[in-house]
Amino acid sequence: KQEVTQIPAALSVPEGENLVLNCSFTDSAIYNLQWFRQDPGKGLTSLLLIQSSQREQTSGRLNASLDKSSGRSTLYIAASQPGDSATYLCAVKAGANSKLTFGKGITLSVRP
Amino acid sequence: NAGVTQTPKFRVLKTGQSMTLLCAQDMNHEYMYWYRQDPGMGLRLIHYSVGEGTTAKGEVPDGYNVSRLKKQNFLLGLESAAPSQTSVYFCASTQLDTQYFGPGTRLTVL
């Protein structure tokens, strides 16, 4: 059974810092991996989707990398801002028609 | 383009009452999902649908029923609510691997 782990559960950094959020998964045979953002009391918003054949994806100040062999993905946030404060979840998919398995998320607080 | 919408946003039920949560999407997506999110448990899949007229069980289906009579709507029903069903419920739809989530329904069962 696939398990997705995100450690630490919470992180607090000063504004302007570059930071890395980690995601690990137990079964390396994945179809794709997705990073989401969730603001308090809101739904999830997809940030980046990495297919199994890809090593990384970039969107603005966000860069997500994927290393299937080691069962790891990282979300890099450059020059963090208070508006980046949210919970970040990663999720993996085993196959094209499989369900997503979610990590429990990392709650990020960026201090002004 | 409203994306994925959910009604109601909040609801309080007494044990044993029934209710239906409505999810609607205007993106013509085939796949739709119902999740629940609980503190310390993360997101768990309740039921899903791969197209109009189809439904399938997810990870935690007990106590819930679903229907997908129209492609754009996915309904989640609780026939006899229990306090253990107190949670935040999210609907999502998928096209080309990206999942789009609704804003959620916060349900409290007393």
Residues A33-48: tens digit of each pLDDT = 999 999 999 999 999 9
The string of pLDDT tens digits covering residues A49-104 is 999 999 999 999 999 999 999 999 999 999 999 999 999 999 999 888 788 999 99
Assess whether pLDDT exceeds 80 at residue B62. Answer: yes
Inter-chain residue contact A97 with B45, CB threshold 8 Å = no
- A49 contacts in chain B (CB < 8 Å): 97-98
Please give the structure tokens belonging to residue A100: 């997503």
Least CB–CB distance from B99: residue in A34, A51, A97:
A34
Closest CA to B44 of B52, B53, B34, B54: B34
Burial class (CB in 10 A: 0-12, 13-18, 19+), A82: exposed
Per-residue pLDDT band for B40 (boundaries 50, 70, 90) equals confident
Q: Please tell me the predicted confidence (pLDDT) of residue B25.
A: 96
How far apart CA A105 and CA A21 sit, in angstroms, is 10
How far apart CA B100 and CA B88 sit, in angstroms, is 16
Q: Does the beta carbon of A103 lie under 8 angstroms from any beta carbon of chain B?
A: yes
* Chain B residues contacting A via beta carbons under 8 Å: 4, 33, 40-43, 45, 48, 50, 58-59, 90, 92, 97-104
